[in-house]
Structures are given as structure tokens and as C-alpha cells.
Amino acid sequence: MTESSQAATVVDVRAMVPRERHPLIFATFDGLTPGASMRLINDHDPKPLYYQLMAERPGQAGWEYIEEGPETWQVQITRVG
């Protein structure tokens, strides 16, 4: 469930089956060009994703919370050059 906007690619995983979320997020991230961003929208704090992303793509991602619950979390994830 991705859609493009001028500012960033939006990935809203709230309606997805949990096991399908991380593969979509990683595929979307891997498709970003350096300097481009994606906005992740989730129904819980994606902190485990943060740790996985930093471990599997070290030095490649910036992470900034835009909204921190309690029902919706939004994170801007930027592909670092």
C-alpha cells in the first residue's frame, strides 16, 4: 500500500497482515534514491523495525518520528547517500 507524494513515498501498513509489513518496508526503502524519504504510517511504535533497519542497512537510513501514538505512529525514513 504505497502511494507517491511530492515530498515522500507514503507506506501505510496499518491494514496489512503483520508478517507482510517488514518486507514491503524494506523493499520500498531499497528502492529509494539517496536523499529520498518514505513516510511510514503504523498502528504501533515501529521501534523493532528501527533496530532491524539499522542492523541490516547500517549507515544507510535516517529515522525521525513525525507522530508518536497513541493510535498512529508516523516515521520519516530517509535514504542516506
Residue 74 contacts residue 40 (beta carbons within 8 Å): yes
Residue 71 contacts residue 43 (beta carbons within 8 Å): yes
pLDDT of residue 67: 98
pLDDT of residue 7: 60
pLDDT of residue 4: 42
Helix (H, G, I), strand (E, B) or coil at 26: helix
Q: Tens digits of per-residue pLDDT, 29-70?
A: 999 999 999 999 999 999 999 999 999 999 999 999 999 999
Sheet holding 61-68, edge to edge: 2-4, 9-12, 37-42, 73-79, 61-68
Domain boundaries, the chain: 2-79
pTM of the model: 0.88
With helix as H, strand as E and coil as C, how does 40-69 read? EEECCCCHHHHHHHHHHCCCCEEEEEEEEC
pLDDT of residue 3: 47
Q: Would you say domain 2-79 falls under CATH 3.30.565.10?
A: no
